[in-house]
Amino acid sequence: MTKKTLRVTQVRSSHGRLESHKACLRGLGLRKPHHCVEVPGTPEILGMIFKVSYLLKVEEI
C-alpha cells in the first residue's frame, strides 16, 4: 500500500468558527487563509480534513 500525500490549502478564515474546528486547522498546520501544507493521508488526518472541509481545498499529490 502506497502512502498518499495530500496538499491542503485553507481557503476560508477560521474567525468565528468553533474552537474544535480551529483546533483541527492548527493540528493540520494551517495558520491563515491561503496557507498550504502537505500532509500524509492517514485516517486521523482525513478525519480532521473532513471535519473542516468547508474551509479547505484538498488535492492529492
Distance CA 41, CA 48 (A): 11
pLDDT (tens digit per residue) in 15-53: 999 999 999 999 999 999 999 999 999 999 999 999 999
Could you tell me the CA-to-CA distances from 24 to 1, 2, 4 in Å, in that order?
26, 25, 20
Cα–Cα–Cα angle for 58, 45, 60, nearest 5°? Answer: 30
- Domain 5-60 has what CATH class? alpha beta
Every domain of the chain and the residues it spans: 5-60
Parallel, antiparallel or unpaired: strands 36-40 and 56-60? unpaired
What is the model's pLDDT at position 2? 59
pLDDT confidence of residue 12: 96
pTM of the predicted model over 0.85: yes
